[in-house]
Amino acid sequence: MTGALSPIDKAKFVAAKRAAEFVEDGMRVGLGTGSTAAWLVRCLGEMVRDDGLKFRGVPTSTRTAELAREVGIEVISLDEARWLDITIDGADEFDADLALIKGGGGALLQEKIVATASDQMVVIADAAKEVEHLGAFPLPVELIPFGWQTTQALIEETLVSMDVMGRNATLRMNGDRPFITDEGNHILDLHLGRIGNARQLAMVLNQVPGVVENGLFIDICDQVVVGFGDGRVEVRDINAGTVTEDRLDFVEDDNLFSDLGD
């Protein structure tokens, strides 16, 4: 089975598998969204089933909730958990300060709420997600549907005074209809090329009426677990200033590697 995985998928898998080791009995755990987070949920499900790990998970999307239940994880809402010990999630880009772009999967709003309500946030990513400057990946901004074209115009106007390379904004589509988030909102993808001041941009975007949240995660992530296609894993801790290296073996397991829908 694992022979069929691409190097990128192997990298995502080893990052997820290594980060799953951070979860301990009794924890309340934020479960991210996306293909890397789906590996994490699978790994945690295996630990629940095979090792008797006991924890409760707060998913960041309906699709993560479905997968978590499917693999035997006890799912609770954020209101039930109130506060989380750890959140583990993927990212579209991360830089040396562990500032992130998230929301490629359209779940940025719940992801930001859940990550912010956690003692620590751990990002799991393949090495290709590391960038010197954020912005090559289009920045997702969640908007309420009411008057979204006016909101788009206001955002474009705001971008004129921001330190960015491009200013093109496109409404995310799902076929011939606008993409709808779990909260019933739209997503505008900002093609900025390079973001000079991510902290300022994150604050300014959230001031525009109609904007619910943006995909810049600043000072939220504590650690990143970077996976490589050859099984190497690097754990970088921004608070401790440490980098530890590890290597994981791929173990063939039909349950873990089959039917990965995300």
Using CB under 6 A as the binding rule, whether residue 65 contacts ligand 5RP is answered as no
- The least CB distance from residue 101 to ligand 5RP, in Å, is 8
The token pair at 164 is: 């960015």
> Rounded to an integer, what is the distance from CA 185 to the centroid of its chain?
18
- The least CB distance from residue 23 to ligand 5RP, in Å, is 18
Using CB under 6 A as the binding rule, whether residue 138 contacts ligand 5RP is answered as no
**From 18-26, 99-107, 113-121, 147-155, span contacting ligand 5RP (CB under 6 A):** 99-107
Using CB under 6 A as the binding rule, whether residue 227 contacts ligand 5RP is answered as no
Using CB under 6 A as the binding rule, the residues of this chain from 7 to 36 that contact ligand 5RP are 32-36
Compute CA distances 176 → 142, 150, 171, 183, 213, whole Å: 19, 21, 11, 20, 24
> Rounded to an integer, what is the distance from CA 18 to the centroid of its chain?
16
- The least CB distance from residue 106 to ligand 5RP, in Å, is 6
Using CB under 6 A as the binding rule, whether residue 107 contacts ligand 5RP is answered as yes
Q: Which is nearer to ligand 5RP, 91 or 211 (CB)?
A: 91
Whether 118 and 86 have beta carbons less than 8 Å apart is answered as yes
Q: Is 111 a catalytic residue?
A: yes
Using CB under 6 A as the binding rule, whether residue 104 contacts ligand 5RP is answered as yes
Nearest to 221 by CA among 123, 135, 113: 123
Does residue 152 sit in helix, strand or coil? helix
- The least CB distance from residue 121 to ligand 5RP, in Å, is 12
Site residue total, ligand 5RP (CB under 6 A)? 18
Exposure of 223 in the CB half-sphere (CA atoms within 13 A): 23
Dist CA 199 CA 119 (whole Å): 21
The token pair at 45 is: 């499900």
Using CB under 6 A as the binding rule, whether residue 99 contacts ligand 5RP is answered as no
Using CB under 6 A as the binding rule, whether residue 90 contacts ligand 5RP is answered as yes
Whether 183 and 107 have beta carbons less than 8 Å apart is answered as no
- The least CB distance from residue 70 to ligand 5RP, in Å, is 18
**From 23-31, 80-88, 90-98, 226-234, span contacting ligand 5RP (CB under 6 A):** 90-98
Using CB under 6 A as the binding rule, whether residue 91 contacts ligand 5RP is answered as yes
Q: Which is nearer to ligand 5RP, 45 or 104 (CB)?
A: 104
Instruction: Say which of 111, 132, 156, 252 is annotated catalytic.
Output: 111
Cα torsion at 185, 190, 195, 197 (round to 10°)?
Answer: -40
Instruction: Kindly give the pairing relationship between strand 56-59 and strand 74-75.
Output: parallel
- The least CB distance from residue 77 to ligand 5RP, in Å, is 19
Nearest to 169 by CA among 191, 193, 200: 191
Q: Which residues contact 207 (CB under 8 A, 6 or more apart)?
A: none
Catalytic residues: 111
* Interface ranges with ligand 5RP (CB under 6 A): 32-37, 89-92, 102-108, 111
